[in-house]
Amino acid sequence: MPVRPFSKRLLSASQPPLQIRGGSIIGVIQNVNRKVCELPKKVRTCEISIDPTAQKEHNTARMKTPVTVTVTGAAGNIAYSLLFRIAAGNMLGEDQPIVLKLLEITPCLDKLHGVVMELDDCAFPLVQEIVATDDPAVAFKDANWCMLVGSVPRKAGMERKDLLSINGKVFIGQGKAIAENAAPDCKVFVVGNPCNTNCLIALHNATGLPKQNFFAMTMLDELRAKSQLAAKAGVPVSAVTNMTIWGNHSSTQYPDFTNAKINGKPVTEVISDTDWLKGEFIKTVQQRGAAIIQARGASSAASAANAALMTVKNLVTPTAQGDWFSVASYSDGTRYGLPEGIICSQPTRTNADGSHTIVEGLPIDDFSRGKIDASCKELLEERAEVLG
Ligand code: NAD
Ligand code: LMR
């Protein structure tokens, strides 16, 4: 599908992508481009040779095949934190060249243009190409990671599921565009709320893509829970491990203190205040998003971007021995009594080969059972609303 006129303007305004033909290297880092080749505007491909000094300077970055990362809602608040950290290599590694593809709705293309100018002005060595567009087919072309942030945030007094009627439809078209244009093994990661069910919508519309490649974000809840437990126990947050968020990224989510650890010991051995664990702790985590909206007048953005970055980093990095992380993924109905066919947050590990495994065999006591079931019930209700 052709790039729309405005997108062309954006493309020509940013550094044109280059290809080195006759070799295996595709794409050139921006500041190398500038040294060796002056391109006429709107020429997006040329043959160049790299001067040896530039080659040495950027040797590490050129050793890996570029990864294409598509971010939707790229002119929004979360993206304004997220993009610069992706571009700096904080997500996929400081030796991983990336192509950034940025999707926005047409009225926000001017604002997106400003973001692209700022990205350009950072001269990130890893960024080989930036494509900014309002066309999903262009944005998802060859994407390896589809980070679906673009959608409306809730206002004070709303639940996230109240956004389903506004945001849900976005994920129909984007799911289809991903299936038609992205890399066949692409990973789809949904941040836009209600993220679990939006992810399910995308999955149902992305015909042919493996279900296990779809994820929704509960890392922000995991990090919030870790932070609360660390503060209560008076330990650094790094001491808190094995933190599962079960269920929905909503006010029914269950931050599972019964299987979490502090300095390798069960949380319940370190924090004896069970009333706090069962009451204030859970409520604080469940209501943290609302508390931030109340205080800031806008939903979490920098912390959400950080959590998005951490999720992808966790999904591409082998998980530390004995630990796990939280992400919502497709439930096949075979574990922990979670219903089949929902996108449910579960304890997850990334294996050495890059595959993902749900941690099996964690004890679920009656208290946890009730909380997990309540969140799954909400996910089933949301599913019924969108899939009938
Ligand atoms: P924002 O309003 O600042 O930005 C959203 C951007 O998405 C806007 O620029 C908008 O133009 C764009 N957009 C809307 N529809 C689009 C479409 N169809 N295609 C491409 N872009 C589109 O909002 P934000 O603060 O960046 O938050 C984005 C979403 O993330 C919200 O739904 C919010 O509730 C959610 N969120 C989720 C979590 C989580 O933990 N899962 C955390 C924080 C925020
Ligand atoms: C959050 O948890 O901060 C986000 O999901 C935004 C919200 O609506 O609470």
**Tens digits of pLDDT across the chain (388 residues):** 333 333 332 333 333 333 322 222 222 333 333 222 223 333 332 233 345 555 555 555 457 999 999 999 999 999 999 999 999 999 999 999 999 999 999 999 999 999 999 999 999 999 999 999 999 999 999 999 999 999 999 999 999 999 999 999 999 999 999 999 999 999 999 999 999 999 999 999 999 999 999 999 999 999 999 999 999 999 999 999 999 999 999 999 999 999 999 999 999 999 999 999 999 999 999 999 999 999 999 999 999 999 999 999 999 999 999 999 999 999 999 999 999 999 999 999 999 999 999 999 999 999 999 999 999 999 999 999 999 8
CA-to-CA distance for 42 and 187, rounded, in angstroms?
30
- Indicate left, alpha or beta for 381 from its phi (over 0: left) and psi (-120 to 50: alpha): alpha
Question: What whole-number distance in Å separates Cα of residue 14 and Cα of residue 87?
Answer: 15
Burial state string for 6-35 with b = 16 or more CB within 10 A and e = fewer than 16:
bbeebbeebbbbbbbeeeebbbbbbebbee
| Residue 195 beta carbon below 6 angstroms from any ligand 1 atom | yes
Atom of ligand 1 nearest to the CA of 163: 32
Verify whether ligand 1 is closer than 6 Å to residue 292 (CB atom). Answer: no
What is the reported pLDDT for 60?
52
User: Of 240, 243, 370, 78, which is closest to residue 86 (Cα–Cα)?
Assistant: 78
**Ligand 2: which of 77, 148, 159, 160 to mutate, judged by most atoms within 8 Å of the beta carbon?**
160
Phi, psi at 127, each rounded to 5°: -85, 115
73 lines ligand 1 (CB under 6 A): yes
Q: Please report the DSSP string for 156-191 in residue order.
A: TT--GGGGHHHHTTHHHHHHHHHHHHS-TT-EEEE-
CB atoms within 10 A of CB 74: 30
Residue 145: the pLDDT is 98
Q: How far is the CA of 13 from the centre of ligand 2 (A)?
A: 34
Distances (CA, A) of 285 to 17, 100, 222, 277, 349: 43, 32, 9, 11, 22
* Residue identifier of the C-alpha nearest atom 38 of ligand 1: 191
Distance CA 300, CA 293 (A): 7
Q: What's residue 44's pLDDT?
A: 32
Which domains does the chain carry? 8-59 (no CATH), 65-216 (3.40.50.720), 219-387 (3.90.110.10)
Instruction: Using the mean position of ligand 1's atoms as its centre, give its distance from the Cα of residue 70 in Å.
Output: 14
Tens digit of each residue's pLDDT (9 = 90 or more) over 323-350: 999 999 999 999 999 999 999 999 999 9
Q: Which ligand is nearest to the CA of 195?
A: 1
Task: Provide the pairing of β-strand 244-246 with 254-256.
Answer: antiparallel
Does residue 251 contact residue 233 with C-beta atoms inside 8 Å? no
Residue 250 CA to ligand 2 center (angstroms) comes to: 8
Question: Ligand 2 centroid to 256 CA: how many Å?
Answer: 19
Ligand 1 lined by 151 (C-beta under 6 Å): yes
Ligand 2, atom 2, residue with closest C-alpha: 289
Cα–Cα distance, 185 to 176 (Å, whole number): 15
Q: Is 192 a pocket residue for ligand 2 (Cβ < 6 Å)? A: no
Ligand nearest to the CA of 102: 1
Helix residue ranges, H only, 182-281? 195-205, 219-233, 267-270, 274-276
Quick check: 22 and 29 in contact, CB under 8 A? no
113 is catalytic: no
> Which ranges in the chain belong to alpha helices (H)?
5-13, 30-36, 52-57, 59-63, 77-88, 109-122, 136-139, 164-167, 170-181, 195-205, 219-233, 267-270, 274-276, 282-296, 302-316, 366-387
81 lines ligand 2 (CB under 6 A): no
Sign of CA dihedral 65, 70, 75, 77: negative
**What is the model's pLDDT at position 18?**
32
Question: Residue 257's Cα: distance from chain center in Å?
Answer: 24
Q: With contact defined as beta carbons under 8 Å apart, do 358 and 324 qualify? A: no
Residue 289 Cβ inside 6 Å of ligand 2? The answer reads yes
Q: Which atom of ligand 1 has the smallest separation from the CA of 136?
A: 19
Model pLDDT, residue 15 = 36
Distance of CA 119 to the CA centre of its chain: 19
pLDDT the model gives residue 27: 29
User: Which pLDDT belongs to residue 63?
Assistant: 73
Q: Is 103 in the pocket of ligand 1 (CB under 6 A)?
A: yes
Query: What is the structure's pLDDT at 59?
Result: 54
Q: Which of 217, 227, 299, 306 to mutate to test the pocket of ligand 2 (most atoms within 8 A of CB)?
A: 299
The number of beta carbons lying within 10 Å of the beta carbon of residue 340 is: 10
Q: Which sign, positive or negative, has the C-alpha torsion 104, 78, 313, 206?
A: negative
What 3-state class would DSSP assign to 298?
coil
Measured CA to CA, the distance from residue 253 to residue 283 in angstroms comes to: 10
The reported pLDDT for the residue numbered 202 is 98
Kindly state if the Cβ of 193 falls inside 6 Å of ligand 2: yes
The pLDDT value recorded for residue 57 is 55
Tell me what pLDDT residue 110 has. Answer: 97
Residue with the smallest CA separation from ligand 2 atom 7 is 289
User: Whose CA is closest to atom 9 on ligand 2?
Assistant: 289
Determine whether the shortest distance from the Cβ of 160 to ligand 2 is under 6 A. yes
Closest among 340, 349, 291, 288 to 318, alpha carbons compared: 349
**Residue 237, token pair as written in the block:** 């947050």
Q: Which of 7, 80, 191, 343 to mutate to test the pocket of ligand 1 (most atoms within 8 A of CB)?
A: 191
Query: Is ligand 1 within 6 A of the CB of residue 191?
Result: yes
